[in-house]
Structure 1
Amino acid sequence: MKKIILLLIITTTTMFAQIEKIEPPFWYAGMQNPELQIMFYGKNIAKYQVSVSNSITILNVKRTENSNYIFITINTKNVTATEFIFTFKEKNKVVFTQLYSLKKRRENSAQRLSFDASDTMYLLMPDRFSNGNPNNDSDALMTEKYNRELPGGRHGGDIQGIINHLDYIQDLGATTIWSTPLCEDNEAAYSYHTYAQTDVYKIDPRYGTNDDYARLASEMHKRKLKLVMDYVTNHWGKEHWMMKDLPTPDWIHQFENYTQTNHKRTVIHDTHASKSDTKICMEGWFAPTMPDLNQNNPLVLNYLTQNAIWWIEFANLDGFRVDTYNYAEPKAIAKWTKAITDEYPNFNIVGEISMRNQAQLSYWQKDSPIGKIQNFNSNLPSIMDFILSDALLTIFNEDGNWETGMIRIYDNLANDFLYPNVNNLLIFAENHDTHRVNHVYLNDIQKYKMTMAVLATVRGIPQLYYGSEIGMTGNKDSGDAYIRQDFPGGWEGDTINAYTKKGRTDGQNEYFDFTRKLFNWRKTKSVVHFGKMTHYIPENNTYIYFRYDSNDSVMVLFNNNSETKSIATDRFEENLKNYTIGKDVISEKIIDITKDIILEPKSVLILELK
């Protein structure tokens, strides 16, 4: 009996020892696209003949230059949730087998709703937000260890830390969380930002597990919050397991000598661009630690597409923010985006398009009239408004003339006709790559309030950056670590706990209370989510606009001067109509709008008209 058991153990071990990686590790039944490409990785695995049980059809077997890979495409159409077996043979003799699973999807998974202009997004960096589980601060298999004393080191923030403070984020008025990437980043240094990922099917163990990530989504959904994954299509980290043994030489872009992208993304639509400039732009690496993926390789594109869909299903995600969206191959990334939105028609994806020209930004939004000129459609529902961000990090320090101050906002919004869906722009003042607002404005809370008021009342989806709501500062010129500092109270032993009113200082509470009131008000106001807008040319660095629909009207007044201004209201007759009073949404004071309105220095009024 012992001999039989031992033989069984030896046989089973031999049968499965041939495969080191299977990706996707499992899949889901009932997908819109029934074709599933499964990558098997193991020593000389390509030499075997492959069959599959349960009458499942193999559509294609792809072998590459590297015999350690085999890509098998099967047809899952009309296949219900089940398990089946791949058999690997050599000379008609079974060498080993591998079990594979199709799991059942959540009910109405394909019709899941996503974020839109009714939401406010809260951007956080997990390593710097809260250390909820000190036991995972370091990991034996991860190169970089915990070192909170090092500004650019691993500080121990994790998924549990986010879960612990979901009530705080909800109380602030945010409805959606965008977390910077959480997949494994096993680089030797600066791995805390996690944009140089080394395994895209695995949460970095210093953040938690895959199940922890799914639990984060579940806990958020209980609170009616939405989870957006930061997805990277352009590059991986140089320590990615696949970089050690590439499936094919053109899996990544390679040069004789290291070549970095020139970052000049205008070559994509520039009819005069040279071929050499375009090649370096599109194929050059983002950084020495970030190999540039070749999305024009169909195997790579399929791999990235399925990985993205796998995470949506597995973690029950509500959206993507895509890093360096227009650094990837344009037509290929457009196919990636369309494949996802074909599976999930309501799924929102916002791309990082760091262009500073409205026509160039518009080029990248789905159904853009600008892109149509060159027969290009990105299929990307949402883009980030970097022009507005630049303005918000400048204007409240400017005296204002025909080109500076409040006119910067006016001129940006005046170009909204270029966008096919202006309500689906992600708007922000700052993020993890910029100066913090409170650094630029030297913790002048009046300037902070005006900045937040713009985000809360113009078109688009506002995004806040963790910690600014309590006055955190950060100078990018000192290094990225200084705009990504730890949230006070997220670590045991912190002298200040800014997650609670009692734990915050008076100054922190002044920031928080204003932000909380403003964005909780916005949460309920369809008129600022999807209403129309009329704005008036700024005069003397004051700026007035209206958001309105058939039911409501909101008047927003900015005084970007160091002295009091009196605003005559007869200029706004076409919007004021029969309204006589306005309720200030912050102070709740009633203001007579039939008379001149007095604006304090460096101030904003948001009035619900009655």
Structure 2
Amino acid sequence: MNKFGFTRTQNDAFLKKIILFLFFMSLNVTAQIDKIEPPFWYAGMHNPDLQIMFYGKDIAKYQVTVSNETKIINVKRTENPNYIFVTIDTRKTAATDVFFSFSTNNKLQFTQKYSIKKRREQSAQRKSFDASDMMYLVMPDRFANGDKNNDSNNATVEKFNRELPGGRHGGDIQGIINNLDYIASLGATAIWSTPLCEDNDAAYSYHTYAQSDVYKIDPRYGTNEDYVRLSSEMHKKNLKLIMDYVTNHWGIEHWMMKDLPTKDWIHQFDNFTQTNHKRSTISDINASKIDTQICLDGWFVASMPDLNQSNTLVLNYLKQNAIWWIEYANLDGFRVDTYNYSDPKGIADWTKAITDEYPNFNIVGEIWMHSQAQMAYWQKDSKIGAIQNYNSHLPTVMDFTLLDAIATVFNEDDGSWDKGMVKAYDNFSNDFLYPNPNNLLVFAENHDTNRINEVYNSDFDKYKMTMALLATVRGIPQLYYGSEIGMRGDKNKGDADIRQDFPGGWEGDQNNAFTPEGRTEGQNQYFDFTAQLFNWRKTNEAVHFGKMTHYIPENNVYVYFRYTQNKTVMVLINNNKEAQNMKTNRFQENIKNYKSGKDILTNNDYDLSNEIAVASKSVLILELQ
């Protein structure tokens, strides 16, 4: 035994490793390799097969071996000699560095170190978002500029220009971190940020849905390390981080577009072909093949090439990229952009790969349809999808039919057969179509729609009814940044109008809406109501996972109950221009033995024995007692 406590056998083994390490390091490890993706991986994953892409000039001409008894399952070469895809079995690979050797004619030319890292404790069992959460949607470029030093970057084309409505305005990750307390004070428990990965388009790059590098945070937002820091700071405040993931397309400036691994990495036509956006063709038994193909394979726009998820290399790349971000940034969920524009089988496999790895992980997909049956088709374990032997494995879908109703309902003062609150009632009457109605994202607006305060012309009473509805029906409510201070935006004026800068997010802003003192009286009115409502929602299990019973609206008054065994909440929304007295005997099956209800907004008590007076254009949220 030597002075380090090693036996002779251990000492010899240790020296052998040192010699091998020095030998590998003495070689030109960077020769021929420009990119490696994933850049590193993690030990102990559910799926032990790891597909590593090596990219470099004529990289495919080399034979590849790997150290540390790691087994190579497959080496895939394509028609492009600058790529080689090496799949290894990590089942027996602990957290360590492995070395890939690249040889020609059995002569070693160079090596490449690859790191397998240790996972966080209980990583696979991470808790995700659910109906107990409220999700706050931010567009980072328009929220707050926390670091002026990254407003422009030499590596990206478009530079800072806040004077240009559709330009880069400088909001960044640090701006979100600086205002986490503000977001939490609203009652939000999760943040959905629009994409943060690099988008190197020459113009309109701020939305970041045309990504040019999906392993790299856009330098105008910060660094990969900044994103990890955002996640860490959020978790300290019990906030969940939801990444906006894009499976359907990349940007035309993505580095691979300059040198595709395979011709069918993306869908290509003889001439530019845009999707017809008719996603109903996917389940339509009468649809023509050409219409279905153009829907799925056509490009979203000319700057967004359509990825081919039926190509196994592409699909594995997307699976691993998503899982890498979950592990690396300790994410709590995904929102998936244009979910059902992707190849149906491919996107289902992608989703299942993630939920197999993380059984509690929630993913909400953008299913922008105008029929409950069409949306329900895409939710996990849908009986409608099962008719065609299809299961997307997608836990959560976005409730766009509720959005459609909200866009008009509170402007319809006199309820009729199909007007006013009946629209809300009819929406929820179709909940039987969904495998899990609690896993629906409910919202009044987002970054692609008119702002709700534009729709209702800054009518505060209509805003209150809208938010009260979102806070008390089934599902996961989502709030769009700035609505809580009355921000407006008209989609007809262009996307920039619905994506304006949050006041106070930039040095020199005359109005700082992040603080009570900086807000105007009107902004405080909106903020105080929103914060009161959603902070209350955090405390009441009945509106999280309770059952729902609703009653056919009368005189444009919608009454419904959310209840568990221990708690009952009664909601009365009077969308009539006149005050209404609601006799309570009709609601006895839910009122049961409760005697009174306390309005969570005013603290006023209401006697349930006879009738309840509801002011015009107002809402009561009663906790029954």
Residue 606 of structure 1 aligns with which residue?
621
Residue aligning to 2:556 = 541
Partner Cα separation in structure 2 for residue 148 and residue 401 of structure 1 = 47
Aligned partners of 1:15 and 1:95 also within 8 Å: no
Alignment of 1:485-564 (within 5 A): 485-564=500-579
- In structure 2, what residue type is equivalent to 1:60? N
1-structure distance, mates of 2:367, 2:108: 51
3-state SS of 2:620 partner: strand
Structure 2 CA distance, aligned partners of 1:83 and 1:577?
A: 65
Match of 2:590 in 1: 575
CA distance in 1 between counterparts of 2:126 and 2:404 reads 33
**Aligned counterpart, 2:3:** none
For residues 1-12 of structure 1, the aligned pairs below 5 Å read none
Shift of 1:12: 5.7
- 2:13: which partner in 1? none
TM-score (normalised: structure 1)? 0.98
In the alignment, the residues of structure 2 paired with residue 15 and residue 418 of structure 1 have an alpha-carbon distance, to the nearest angstrom, of 56
Partner in structure 1 of residue 43 of structure 2: 29
CA drift of 1:15 comes to 3.9
Please point out which of 94, 100, 111 is paired with 1:80: 94
The answer to whether the 8 A contact 1:582-1:593 is kept is yes
1:216: Cα distance to partner? 0.4
> Does 1:391 pair with 2:405?
yes
Secondary structure of the 1:206 match is coil
Query: Which of 603, 619, 622 is equivalent to 1:588?
Result: 603
Contact 1:120–1:461 (8 Å) recurs in 2: yes
Offset of residue 13 of structure 1:
8.0
How big is the shift at 1:351? 0.2
**Following the alignment from structure 2 to structure 1, what is the Cα–Cα distance between the partners of residues 467 and 138?**
17
Contact 2:582 2:614 in 1 (8 A): yes
Q: In terms of mean alpha carbon deviation, does 346-355 or 397-406 score higher? A: 397-406
Residue 372 of structure 2 is aligned to residue 358 of structure 1: yes
1:407 aligns with 2:422: yes
In structure 2, what is the Cα distance between the partners aligned to 1:432 and 1:348?
21
Aligned twin of 2:19: none
Does residue 251 of the first structure (1) align with residue 269 of the second (2)?
no
What does the per-residue CA deviation read over 1:180-218, in whole Å, with 9 as the maximum and x for residues that have no partner? 000000000000000000000000000000010000000
Query: What is the 5 A alignment of 1:441-480?
Result: 441-480=456-495
- Secondary structure in structure 2 of the residue aligned to 1:58: strand
Measured in 1, the distance between the counterparts of 2:183 and 2:147 equals 19
Once the two structures are superposed, residues 109-146 of structure 1 have per-residue CA deviations (whole angstroms, 9 ceiling, x without a partner) of 00000000000000000000000000000001100000
Report the Cα distance in structure 1 between the residues aligned to 2:110 and 2:173, rounded to whole angstroms: 38
**Which residue in 1 is equivalent to 2:82?**
68
| Aligned sequence identity (%) | 72
The alignment partner of 1:423 has SS state of coil
What CA deviation, in whole Å up to 9, does each residue of 1:425-476 have, x standing for no partner?
Answer: 0110100000000001010000000000000000000000000000000000
**1:30-89 deviation per Cα after TM superposition (whole angstroms, max 9, x unaligned):** 000000000000000000001111111000000000000000000000211000110101
Shift of the alpha carbon at 1:98?
Answer: 0.3
Q: Which runs of 5+ in 1 are unaligned?
A: 1-7
Structure 1 residue 595 displacement after superposition: 2.8
**C-alpha distance in 1 between matches for 2:431 and 2:150:** 47
SS at match of 2:163: coil
C-alpha separation between the residues in 2 aligned to 1:437 and 1:49? 59
Q: Deviations over 1:521-553 (max 9, x none)?
A: 000111110111110000111110011111111
1:6-40: CA deviations, max 9, x gaps? xx99x968441310000000000000000000000
Asked whether 1:38 is paired with 2:52, we answer yes
Q: Give 2:219's match in structure 1, choosing from 200, 205, 208.
A: 205
1:439 alignment partner AA: E
Give yes or no for contact 2:549–2:561 (8 Å, CA) kept in 1: yes
Looking at structure 1, the residues matched to 292 and 430 of structure 2 have their Cα atoms a distance apart, in angstroms, of: 28
Partners in 1 of 2:27 and 2:151 — Cα distance? 33
SS across alignment from 2:347: helix
Amino acid at match of 1:340: I
Q: Distance in 2 between matches of 1:357 and 1:15?
A: 55
- CA distance in 2 between partners of 1:29 and 1:580 (Å): 58
2:165 aligned residue? 151
CA RMSD of aligned residues (A): 1.1
Counterpart code for 2:478: Q
Q: Give the Cα separation in 2 of the matches to 1:497 and 1:101.
A: 45
- Aligned to 1:354, the other structure's residue is in SS state coil
SS class of match (1:455)? helix
Alignment of 1:179-258 (within 5 A): 179-258=193-272
AA aligned to 2:255 is: W
| Equivalent residues, number | 602
Question: Any idea what SS the aligned residue of 1:54 has?
Answer: coil
Q: Indicate if the aligned counterparts of 2:27 and 2:111 stay in contact, CA closer than 8 A.
A: no
What per-residue deviation string (whole Å, max 9, x for no partner) do you get for residues 332-382 of structure 1? 100000000000000000000001111111100000000000000000000
In structure 2, C-alpha distance between the alignment counterparts of 1:154 and 1:49, rounded to whole Å: 45
CA contact (8 A) 2:197 2:215 kept: yes
Superposition deviation, residue 566 in structure 1:
1.4
Mapped partners of 2:607, 2:287: distance in 1 = 57
Q: How does 1:309-388 map to 2 (within 5 A)?
A: 309-388=323-402
Instruction: Classify the secondary structure of the residue corresponding to 2:438.
Output: helix
Distance 2:606 2:512 in 1: 37
Counterpart amino acid of residue 369 in structure 2: M
In 2, Cα distance between equivalents of 1:132 and 1:512: 22
Q: Distance in 2 between matches of 1:423 and 1:140?
A: 46
> Aligned partners of 2:76 and 2:313: how far apart in 1?
9
Map residues 158-177 of structure 1 onto 2, 5 A cutoff: 158-177=172-191
Tell me the amino acid that sits aligned with residue 63 of structure 2. Answer: Q
Query: Any conservation in 1 of the 2:190–2:242 contact (CA below 8 Å)?
Result: yes
Following the alignment from structure 2 to structure 1, what is the Cα–Cα distance between the partners of residues 350 and 429?
Answer: 32
Distance in 2 (CA, whole Å) between partners of 1:57 and 1:546 is 58
The residue aligned with 2:117 is 103
- The match for 1:18 is 32
Bigger mean CA offset, 391-400 vs 181-190? 391-400
- Paired residue secondary structure (1:16): coil
Once residues 182 and 481 of structure 1 are traced to their aligned partners in structure 2, the CA distance between those partners, rounded to angstroms, is 18
Contact 2:70 2:92 in 1 (8 A): no
Q: Deviations over 1:526-583 (max 9, x none)?
A: 1110111110000111110011111111110011011211111111111111212110
SS at match of 2:586: helix
Contact 2:29 2:113 in 1 (8 A): no
- Asked if 2 retains the 8 angstrom alpha-carbon contact of 1:186 and 1:198, the reply is yes
Q: Which of 244, 261, 280 matches 2:275?
A: 261
Q: Is the 8 A contact 2:157 2:201 kept in 1?
A: yes
Structure 1 Cα separation of the partners of residues 367 and 568 of structure 2: 32
CA deviation map 1:494-515 (0-9, x unaligned)? 0011000111011000000000
Cα separation, 2, equivalents of 1:527 and 1:576: 14
